[in-house]
Amino acid sequence: MLANQIGYYSLILGLLFSFLLCSVAIKDFNNNYKGINQNVFTLSFLQLIFVVVSFLSLILSFVNSDFSNETVFNNSHTTKPLFYKISGTWGNHEGSLLLWLLVLTLFIYLFLIKSKQQPKKYRILTLLFQQIIIIGFFLFVLMTSNPFNYLYPIPNEGLGLNPILQDPALAVHPPILYLGYVGSSIIFSASLAAVTQNYISKEWAQHIKKWVLVSWIFLSIGIMLGSIWAYYELGWGGFWFWDPVENVSLMPWLTLTALFHCVLVLERRATLKSWVVILSITTFTLSMCGTFLVRSGLLNSVHTFANNSTRGIFILTLLFVLIFLSLGVFFLFDKENNKDSNSFFWLSKETSILINNWFMMYFLSVVLIGTVYPIFLDVISTEKISVGPPFYHKLIAPFLGPFLLFMALGPKLKWIKSEIENKNSLIILFIISIALAFIILKNLTTDLLFYTLLISAALFLFFTTLKELFVQKLKNISQTIAHLGFSLLILSILFNNILSTEIITNIKVGEKYNYNKSEIFFEKIEEKKESNFNSIIGYFKITDKKGKIIELKPELRVYNQPIIITSEADIKTTLLKDRFLVMNLVKGNKYFNIRYQIKPFMLWIWTSVLILSFGGLMSLFKKKNEK
């Protein structure tokens, strides 16, 4: 109960410090001192401390199972393991917003202490724009989503956390994803501040590039962790299903990727200024849109928070205020940047980056339409539709090949004006890629031409970046590793899509199911009792064509609070493929429905994202010998 009071009043004090900080910052903006007033740093630090205290108070309430706190009552239970009590702090609407607020205040404090070489007025304006966002979230939390609401009489037991959220990967997924989401707020605030000060320049690009990279790295890893969780916990049997909540995390990743490459151009040519600002605004807007859609109840997804309409209206209002503010600042102060010539020589690194950004914007448009259109259709006509993978695959796949080819050729070009060097080796690599793709796919798919083109382009990107890694040695190594990771990701996805197999059948204990010279034997079931669930474990033996036997043990878990049955897949992972088995009880009889899948290159999908992120991490510590 004491933790509730400390947490709540810390939030109120944090909000008061926001107003005080704005007042001191505005006063400091108008004086002629060279450095920022020390009081600004002190107030920003105190604001962060109060939010940290509030967040720790909520964690303490969860750990102590303090059911006088409504959030704890709704999302915890005394039988929950300690790890999931702690992760339950942000596994709900109120706690996740408090985490957003914590990261917002942390990032602006870090910005202040890490940007001492930047102009004073630019830093103060960044602080002020960021405080507008922070104040908005303080009000959102206190008015509609208070994590410290008091319950009386105090319940003896809580309702428990959704069992599918009780998972290690999902416990760390939200904080890492939020570091990516909220990191875009600093880019947004800094861009608006730079526009007002006419500071969009090479120097600013070098400064903001690190913040873009940090956000991009965290967002990449956060998306990957969410994908891994969905793969083995939800029993979908794949790494991506174009679920609406998956899409709202992918969209800012696309714009962040485009923004980073535009910043590289700005860093060298002092051009694409307006495009950099637009992408900065768009990235944060998409992050906020994701927050709105997940918390408004408009999206029907396993990861959304079911909430009342008041919350959705509040955050939608905040979103519109920020959008109109940013557009107003952009059109009022960006006149100088619009005068810059953005024309490039047709064969140059700048042109290749610009063309690839057009591709990224096209991919973004497809994902945005596929995610938002069902919502608008439901509002206008009350007709409910779902946009599934075929929509995205048909619209994205034809453009993926040209995108990969430009991505392979771009790094070979020079800035300003270039010629294609080593044409013969590139032609040879391209021919090898086509021949290799054709040989691999000849007996694997009926859609031979289409997949040959896609895999040829992905192989060409892989071979050219691999060559760069060995020939160029340390030169541009971060870029080469990131591009190598991306080529591996695309290749792994394509081969996973082509080579995956699936068997779905109903089977009783003791029965065998034969398919394609292989056999599934349902040996037995076993029951176990855990701290907060009962487990029914199925023992299966899979005999493949070569006579090799693989044992798999999927589970059904019956949780005690709330009473929910979940399916836990068993997955045997090797370097080349995953064997995936999930079972469900068929009501009314002794049959179990099983789904057995062989999913090639799953390990390489996750590994390629790590390589991609590692390339970005290396860029943060780029040495002088990298150009």
List, for residues 483-527, the tens digit of each pLDDT value. Answer: 999 999 999 999 999 999 999 999 999 999 998 889 999 999 999
Q: What pairing do the DSSP bridges indicate for beta strands 512-515 and 549-552?
A: unpaired
The span from the CA of 483 to the CA of 496, in Å, is: 20
Rounded CA-CA distance 383/396 in Å is 26
- Choose among 128, 275, 277, 131: nearest CA to 194: 277
What is the residue extent of each domain of the chain? 1-166, 169-328+349-365+383-388, 501-602
* H/E stretch holding 25: helix 2-29
For residue 340, give both structure tokens.
Answer: 């810059």
pLDDT, residue 627, reads 44
Q: Please write down the long-range contacts of 30-34, taking CB distance under 8 Å and 24 or more positions apart.
A: 33/120, 34/120
At 419, give phi and psi (nearest 5°): -130, 150
- DSSP labels, 324-382: HHHHHHHHHH-HHHHTS-----SSSHHHHHHHHHHHHHHHHHHHHHHHHHHHHHHHHH-
Tokens of 164: 């599918």
Q: Which of 242, 263, 498 is nearest to 371 (CA)?
A: 242
53, 23 in Cβ contact below 8 A? no
Q: Distance between CA 373 and CA 384 in Å, rounded?
A: 10
State residue 600's pLDDT score.
94
pLDDT given at position 429 = 92
How big is the chain, counted in residues?
627
Cα–Cα distance for residue pair 508/527, rounded to 1 Å: 16
What φ, ψ does residue 496 adopt, rounded to 5°? -60, -40
Which segments of the chain have a pLDDT < 70?
235-237, 294-309, 335-344, 346, 418, 420-421, 472-474, 561, 588, 622-627
Q: For residues 282 and 261, what is the distance between their CA atoms, to the nearest angstrom?
A: 15
Strand order in the sheet with 501-507: 501-507, 592-600, 577-585, 570-573
Query: Phi, psi (5° rounding) for residue 10?
Result: -65, -40
Phi, psi of 535 (to 5 degrees): -115, 135
